[in-house]
Amino acid sequence: MKRGSVLLIEDSPREQQIVCDALSISGYSVTTIADPDRAWSTVENWARQYNFVIIQEVMGGRGGMDLLHEARSRRKDLPVLVVTRDGDWNGYARALSEGAVDYFQTPLDRKKLVRTVQHALHDRPDVPPVISPVP
């Protein structure tokens, strides 16, 4: 049984594999978009369709923060995690001010990633916590 649907907008095949492996083994269904133009052209659809979204801060010269803003303008309660290769305090502050649940630098810590998704989707009084193994 799947625990929720996650969309990963990331152009690195290596990072895609890490995220997909960690979340799939924990019971989440993960879909990826590697093309920033496709992410932009379909934002209205995926912002409504997925339970959780992970956005790369910069992909192919396109700004992930702007995509975060656009997605959250279409669905205020959409939990979004921003990931970056070159994180800094300004990026962190902007991500959180745009409504991101967190801002992670790659390489991703798999356990922290799973905990963040669990917290955003399942850490409510009416839902028991999910404990899943992480490779």
Cα gap 68→109, rounded to integer Å: 21
Phi and psi torsions of 34, nearest 5°:
-100, -15
pLDDT tens column, 7-60: 999 999 999 999 999 999 999 999 999 999 999 999 999 999 999 999 999 887
Close Cβ partners of 50 (under 8 Å, ≥ 6 residues apart): 5, 6, 7, 31, 78
Identify the residue whose tokens are 């963040």: 116
pLDDT tens column, 46-100: 999 999 999 999 887 788 999 999 999 999 999 999 999 887 899 999 999 999 9
E-strand ranges in the chain read 4-9, 28-33, 52-56, 58-59, 62-63, 80-84, 102-105
**Which domains occur in the chain, in start order?**
4-122 (3.40.50.2300)
